[in-house]
């Protein structure tokens, strides 16, 4: 018999803290200066602080990676944001059996920040923690408009971006299960695995890769290997960096 131990969805989402910074989410102390909402980012609207937040982020990533192509930086930036969103949602689902409403109009983003200070939720409103709700909140609410924006602005292939989204989800699940195993929370790890498997069967993610236990092998590449000193990721479709395949990673 497996005993599920859940706690109420508290205003500070304190249960996420022990999971690490990527899972944590600020919900108190409004940031100064005011940060753009992710709704503004996806709508390609400017803010008072940044000419365009996603462009700012991509340029920052490009500088760090010395990326020779903007789409490399766009891919890495998108995967990082996807990982943050999945981590918060999946962590809450596993530990609270509820998720906070991550409506893009409530979720503020600092494109110059790092986890956990990059995201701030202005109101904690509980929602069910089933895979269908997570798909509505994260896939349709965030990753679909983000994919369309990056595809239109930076010509990044949709298939590549959905592969990134799937990879980020699987990575969050692996990290959560590792934590759960180490802290005697096997039920939380099992719940995360099941939700992840259900989400990877969603039409937007189906076909992006193969999940075996907690291991994921994607069918596309995030392009990181094309940055100087970059290599292939652990779940990449390539066993080693291709020598010359400019179109093989387009999605």
Confidence tier at 7 by pLDDT (50, 70, 90): low
CB 177 within 8 A of CB 109: no
| Percent of the chain's residues with pLDDT above 70 | 91
Nearest to 144 by CA among 223, 216, 205: 205
| Cβ-based neighbour number of residue 235 at 10 Å | 20
- Residue 139 confidence (pLDDT): 98
Please report, in angstroms and rounded to a whole number, the separation of the first and last CA atoms in the chain: 43
Task: Say if residue 26's pLDDT is above 90.
Answer: yes
| Cβ-based neighbour number of residue 203 at 10 Å | 8
Max CA separation in the chain (angstroms): 55
> Residue 125: how many CA atoms within 13 Å on its side-chain side?
9
CB 41 within 8 A of CB 145: no
Q: What average pLDDT does the structure give for the chain?
A: 91
Confidence tier at 45 by pLDDT (50, 70, 90): low
CB 124 within 8 A of CB 9: yes
CB 107 within 8 A of CB 165: no
- Mean pLDDT across 29-43: 88
182-200 pLDDT per residue, tens: 999 999 999 999 999 999 9
- Mean pLDDT across 81-94: 98
Task: Say if residue 245's pLDDT is above 60.
Answer: no
- Residue 48 confidence (pLDDT): 55
CB 98 within 8 A of CB 203: no
- Mean pLDDT across 214-220: 94
Tokens, residue 79: 């995967």
Q: Where are the domains of the chain?
A: 18-226
CB 219 within 8 A of CB 209: yes
Q: Quote the radius of gyration of the chain (alpha carbons, Å).
A: 18
Nearest to 105 by CA among 150, 57, 147, 137: 137
Cα separation, 14 vs 126, in Å, equals 14
- Residue 161 confidence (pLDDT): 98
What DSSP state is assigned to residue 51? S
Chain-centre distance for alpha carbon 102: 12
| Percent of the chain's residues with pLDDT above 90 | 81
């Amino acid at each position: 018999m497996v005993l599920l131990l859940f706690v109420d969805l508290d205003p500070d989402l304190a249960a996420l803290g022990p999971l690490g910074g990527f899972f944590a989410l600020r919900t108190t102390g409004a940031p100064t200066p005011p940060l753009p909402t992710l709704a503004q980012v996806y709508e390609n609207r400017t803010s008072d602080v940044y000419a365009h937040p996603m462009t700012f982020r991509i340029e920052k990533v490009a500088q760090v990676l010395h990326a020779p192509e903007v789409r490399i930086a766009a891919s890495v930036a998108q995967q990082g944001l996807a990982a943050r969103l999945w981590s918060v949602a999946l962590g809450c689902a596993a530990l609270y059996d509820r998720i906070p409403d991550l409506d893009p109009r409530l979720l503020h983003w600092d494109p110059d920040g790092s986890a956990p200070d990059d995201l701030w939720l202005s109101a904690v409103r509980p929602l069910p923690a089933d895979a269908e709700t997570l798909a509505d909140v994260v896939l349709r609410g965030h990753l679909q408009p983000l994919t369309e924006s990056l595809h239109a602005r930076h010509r990044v292939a949709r298939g590549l971006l959905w592969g990134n989204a799937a990879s980020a989800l699987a990575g969050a699940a692996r990290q959560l299960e590792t934590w759960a195993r180490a802290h005697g929370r096997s039920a939380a790890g099992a719940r995360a695995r099941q939700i992840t498997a259900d989400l990877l069967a969603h039409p937007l993610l189906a076909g992006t890769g193969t999940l075996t236990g907690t291991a994921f092998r994607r069918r596309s590449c995030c392009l990181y290997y094309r940055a100087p000193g970059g290599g292939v990721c652990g779940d990449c479709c390539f066993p080693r960096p291709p020598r010359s395949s400019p179109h093989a990673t387009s999605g």
